[in-house]
Structure 1
Amino acid sequence: MALVPCQVLRAAILLSYCSILCNYKAIDMPAHQTYGGSWKFLTFIDLVIQAVFFGICVLTDLSSLLTRGNDSQEQERQLRKLISLRDWMMAVLAFPVGVFVVTMFWSIYIYDRELVYPKLLDNFIPAWLNHGMHTTVLPFVLIEMRTTHHQYPSRSCGLAAVCTFAVGYILWVCWIHHVTGVWVYPLLEHLSPGVKILFFAAVTVIINVFYLVGEVLNNYIWDTQK
């Protein structure tokens, strides 16, 4: 039973994320030893999201192949659950968070890399790994959107979920600062309290905009918007 190209592609993307995560975790970097470890960085959280998402995609593909020609209603029901989970993760996490990480990182990096990715990190993270974390996420998620139709949740539910994630991460960043006295990102050290609030609000709005972009793009590609 041969796999179709898009299934092979998803498996390859999953393996690439596993490789990136393993290489990143293997780096002996001081920031990994402080409170929150790697989990304080949105880039790392996004990598985990992408790896889990593509893992679900591969699992869905395998389940679909195994249930093809099978009349078992229970297996069909389980497959539909997997597809629903896959679509929800794509809509709410994989696309908006992935696009946000790529666009925000490179926008700030181009303006002043010291605000988001100090030159000191070049001593720990090779260029290929940096691009694996901050560049390839975008083409990978766009490839997935182009090759597979995803059923988006209702707009209100989708935006509520995205807001929950964004606010949750912002609170996590603030908690880390409360515990350690150090902001996760150097950029925040340069902002006054009032500007920080505006910045966090803007970040929440932007990630919601990316959710809407994903919804519109999905509908455009698959012509589901009548």
Structure 2
Amino acid sequence: MSLPAFYHLVVFIFLAYSFAFNLLKVQDDPGTNLFTYRGYGGKFKFLTFWLFFLQVFYFGFSCVNDIFGSNNRPSQSKPFLRSTLQRWRDILLSSIVFPVGMFVVCTFWGIYFVDRELVYPQKLDKFIPSWLNHVMHTTVLPFLLGDMYLVYHHFPTRKRGLKILLSFALSYLVWILWVAYYANIWVYPVLQVMAPHERVIFIAILMALFISIYLVGEGLNKFLWGKERRNYQLMQQKSRS
């Protein structure tokens, strides 16, 4: 078994266990109206839970690709050929999983250190174990950075990648606005304490942050795999000539 395949398998097992624990053991809220798993939407009101599911799916999908797909790099495959599984894995990581993962980590801890009650009220400590909180909000980034370091990911064009990412972000935005309208539940306390115009500005800033984070991921991939990218571009030039 290759190192990337072993890494994917270990991370997948750990995340799958943590996700199952979250789903089966963490069932209720501690009696606060600002943050609840009860009622409309359940845990799927929270972007963290969407990301948790995406991580499990991504690393599981990577395991499937390690067995049935390919992990080709431009320097190893001439012409550069990727299986369908590898193509979907690369798009999933570059356009959704990495930028959303980095977004969750940065925004959660950024708001947490300003006023944790706005994003993760202290009462949650009574029924969400500390280790699970860190799985949802901390280890996300190291796991994804490890994957980007070990495995070559061919990023799509910037236009396509941003289109996929912003479509995901807008889908989640529509969802939480619907929950607020239909069930009168603001998913995050920080939104509840804002005036309508402040929410618009806040959401616009978060959308800009999504775009910035995508560019960070693109730059990181270029830094880690610059030689491979240059090989790919060179092969493309030769194929056109």
TM over 0.5: yes
Equivalent residue, structure 2, for 1:69: none
Greater share of helix: 1
Between the aligned residues of both structures, percent identity stands at 37
Match of 1:18 in 2: 16
CA displacement 1:50-83 (0-9 Å, x = unmatched): 1111111100111148xxxxxxxxxxx9x71000
Q: Does 1:38 align with 2:37?
A: no
The ranges of structure 1 where at least 4 consecutive aligned residues each deviate by more than 6 angstroms after the TM superposition are none
Query: Cα offset for 1:38?
Result: 1.0
CA distance, structure 1, for counterparts of residue 197 and residue 14 of structure 2:
40
Distance 1:16 1:41 in 2: 21
Match of 2:4 in 1: 6
Name the structure 2 match of 1:57: 62
Quick check: 1:197 aligned with 2:200? yes
Matches within 5 A, 1:61-140: 61-64=66-69, 80-140=83-143
d(CA) in 2 for partners of 1:90, 1:142: 11
Where 1:38 maps in the other structure, the secondary structure is helix
Deviation at 1:33, TM superposition (A): 2.6
Task: State the one-letter code of the partner of 2:87.
Answer: S
Q: TM-score, normalised by structure 1?
A: 0.90
Q: Is it true that 1:155 corresponds to 2:158 in the alignment?
A: yes
Instruction: Report deviation, 1:214.
Output: 0.5
What is the RMSD computed on CA atoms of the aligned residues?
1.4
- How does 1:211-226 map onto structure 2 within 5 Å? 211-223=214-226, 224=229
C-alpha distance in 1, partners of 2:165/2:84?
21
SS in 2 for 1:18: helix
Partner deviation per Cα, 1:107-144 (whole Å, 9 max, x = no partner):
11111000000011111101001001100000000000
Task: Give how far 1:205 is off.
Answer: 1.1
Aligned length: 212
What is the match of residue 176 of structure 1? 179
